[in-house]
Amino acid sequence: MKSNKSSELHELDRDLPTGPADIAALRRARRDTIRDLKLYFEFLAGFPAPPARELISRKGPAGPTPFEL
Protein backbone atom coordinates (compact mmCIF):
# COMPACT_ATOMS: atom_id res chain seq x y z
CA MET A 1 0.00 0.00 0.00
CA LYS A 2 1.43 3.35 -1.05
CA SER A 3 1.31 6.10 1.54
CA ASN A 4 0.34 9.58 0.35
CA LYS A 5 2.32 12.61 1.33
CA SER A 6 0.38 15.73 2.21
CA SER A 7 1.69 17.42 -0.93
CA GLU A 8 0.23 14.69 -3.21
CA LEU A 9 -3.25 14.91 -4.69
CA HIS A 10 -5.74 12.39 -3.41
CA GLU A 11 -8.00 10.32 -5.60
CA LEU A 12 -11.31 11.76 -4.45
CA ASP A 13 -13.40 8.94 -5.92
CA ARG A 14 -11.48 6.51 -3.76
CA ASP A 15 -10.44 8.63 -0.78
CA LEU A 16 -13.65 10.63 -0.35
CA PRO A 17 -16.58 8.67 -1.73
CA THR A 18 -19.69 10.81 -2.17
CA GLY A 19 -23.18 10.02 -3.33
CA PRO A 20 -25.88 12.16 -4.94
CA ALA A 21 -27.28 13.20 -1.53
CA ASP A 22 -23.81 14.32 -0.40
CA ILE A 23 -23.30 16.39 -3.54
CA ALA A 24 -26.73 18.02 -3.18
CA ALA A 25 -25.98 18.91 0.45
CA LEU A 26 -22.62 20.43 -0.52
CA ARG A 27 -24.27 22.51 -3.24
CA ARG A 28 -26.96 23.75 -0.81
CA ALA A 29 -24.31 24.67 1.76
CA ARG A 30 -22.31 26.58 -0.85
CA ARG A 31 -25.42 28.40 -2.11
CA ASP A 32 -26.64 29.32 1.38
CA THR A 33 -23.29 30.68 2.59
CA ILE A 34 -23.12 34.41 3.17
CA ARG A 35 -20.27 35.56 0.97
CA ASP A 36 -20.46 39.32 1.37
CA LEU A 37 -19.31 40.71 4.71
CA LYS A 38 -21.40 43.87 4.26
CA LEU A 39 -24.55 41.77 3.78
CA TYR A 40 -23.67 39.78 6.89
CA PHE A 41 -23.31 42.94 8.97
CA GLU A 42 -26.63 44.22 7.60
CA PHE A 43 -28.19 40.91 8.62
CA LEU A 44 -26.79 41.24 12.15
CA ALA A 45 -27.97 44.85 12.39
CA GLY A 46 -31.52 43.57 11.89
CA PHE A 47 -31.49 42.08 15.39
CA PRO A 48 -32.46 44.44 18.22
CA ALA A 49 -29.73 45.39 20.66
CA PRO A 50 -30.32 44.22 24.23
CA PRO A 51 -31.00 46.97 26.77
CA ALA A 52 -27.94 48.33 28.59
CA ARG A 53 -29.36 47.13 31.93
CA GLU A 54 -29.44 43.58 30.66
CA LEU A 55 -25.84 43.78 29.47
CA ILE A 56 -24.66 45.26 32.77
CA SER A 57 -26.43 42.58 34.81
CA ARG A 58 -24.79 39.69 32.94
CA LYS A 59 -22.18 37.79 34.86
CA GLY A 60 -18.73 37.51 33.35
CA PRO A 61 -16.72 34.30 33.23
CA ALA A 62 -15.51 34.75 36.82
CA GLY A 63 -18.85 35.89 38.20
CA PRO A 64 -20.23 39.33 39.02
CA THR A 65 -16.82 40.84 39.91
CA PRO A 66 -16.00 43.68 37.50
CA PHE A 67 -12.79 43.58 35.49
CA GLU A 68 -9.98 45.62 37.04
CA LEU A 69 -6.62 46.65 35.63
pLDDT along the chain (69 residues), means of 10: 53 71 82 76 91 84 66
What are the backbone angles phi and psi of residue 4, rounded to the nearest 5°?
-90, 135
- Bridge partners of 10, per DSSP, are none
3-state secondary structure 2-63: CCCCCCCCCCHHHHCCCCHHHHHHHHHHHHHCCCCHHHHHHHHHCCCCCCHHHHHHCCECCE
DSSP state of 64: S
Q: Residue 50 is which amino acid?
A: P
The reply to whether the predicted model has a pTM over 0.75 is: no
For residue 14, the model assigns a pLDDT of: 67
For residue 46, the model assigns a pLDDT of: 94
